[in-house]
Structure 1
Amino acid sequence: MEYRLFDEGKQFPVQYFYDRIGKPEIAMRMTCDYFVKAGQIFEKTSVAIDGGTYVIYVQPAVEEHVVDPKQKADGKTIRIELRQFQEDAAYYPVIHKYEFRDEMEALLHMQSNFLYLYGKEWEKTSAEIDEDRNVYVWYAKATELGG
């Protein structure tokens, strides 16, 4: 699997390459709108399969900033943070931390458009993988139905 910079003029250079990564993790990464690595945030532009290589095309995210860089998961499970998205906010509070041992269960959560938690319905606004913290983040707003 590769992350390539979406820059046709530079012939889409490879930014990051992952040799030993399973298909469930590739699928989870493909669901993410953002990718965080080495303090830099990239926005996904598209995904492709190029001669058997899974490719995620990214570009630097201009108006995004890293969230909680010191809160790192231990890596023993797959962590997905549900964070409350708010327009123009500098911080997105953690509503819940999901911990999964099953990659497919984590993938199904990442693919969902809605989650129901604490008597509320949460609608996904975006998702990211933050490699610096070893977590996936599911940003959402409480819907009218969910209060």
Structure 2
Amino acid sequence: MKFRNAVLEYRLHKGNDHFVPIYHYPEIELEQILARRECEFFVKSGVTYRQLSSAIEANLFIIYVELYEEDPIEGELLSEDGILLEVRELNTIKNHPLISSEYVTNHLDVLSTIGSVYTYHYGKEWERDSAEIDEDRKAFVLYVTPTGYSITE
């Protein structure tokens, strides 16, 4: 495998095309890097960053981010076996209601869900808006909006 020793680095935009490294992950599997790169938002220590772009230099994967917002740190969820994947409705008025929540076994399962334009839950079609990796809560979150299409069985 070409990227057996992959490294991930987040770099913060400081203006005038100047970026500084803020987080470095030297031992991370490629599947996790790809799932993180699919996320428009990254949450760590109460700070939400918005992804601007990404790059690769040899075995170094880089995600360029800007500061988006700061909030109090949410409590860490009790962890079950696996990776928490939530699907939430993009609705700030209702505090992004939870549509589904599951623990998956690997980052390819995460990538398969957050990389899809449409998902289906409870007989309804939902369209992808964005995704985030929330390190504070140890969760990936897919934000969706209803399309109005229902599945009849």
Output the TM-score relative to the length of structure 1: 0.88
The 5 A counterparts of 1:42-121 are 42-62=49-69, 69-70=74-75, 72-74=77-79, 76-86=81-91, 88-89=92-93, 91-121=95-125
Provide the C-alpha distance between the structure 1 equivalents of 2:121 and 2:134, rounded to a whole number of angstroms: 23
- Measure how far apart 1:52 and its partner are: 2.3
| Unpaired runs of at least 5, structure 1 | none
| Unpaired runs of at least 5, structure 2 | 1-7
CA contact (8 A) 1:38 1:132 kept: yes
Determine helix, strand or coil for the equivalent of 1:91: coil
The superposition leaves residues 80-138 of structure 1 with CA deviations (integer Å, 9 ceiling, x where unpaired) of 1111112x526111111021113222211121111111000011111000000000000
Alignment RMSD (CA, Å): 2.2
- Measure how far apart 1:57 and its partner are: 0.3
Determine helix, strand or coil for the equivalent of 1:42: strand
Aligned residues: 144
Specify the code of the residue in structure 2 equivalent to 1:106: V
Provide the C-alpha distance between the structure 1 equivalents of 2:99 and 2:57, rounded to a whole number of angstroms: 38
CA contact (8 A) 2:124 2:148 kept: no
Specify the code of the residue in structure 2 equivalent to 1:128: E
Determine helix, strand or coil for the equivalent of 2:108: helix
Specify the code of the residue in structure 1 equivalent to 2:57: D
Higher radius of gyration, 1 or 2 = 2
CA contact (8 A) 1:73 1:79 kept: no
Which structure shows the higher strand fraction?
2
CA contact (8 A) 2:124 2:146 kept: yes
Determine helix, strand or coil for the equivalent of 2:137: coil
Specify the code of the residue in structure 2 equivalent to 1:109: T
Specify the code of the residue in structure 2 equivalent to 1:79: L
- Measure how far apart 1:142 and its partner are: 1.1
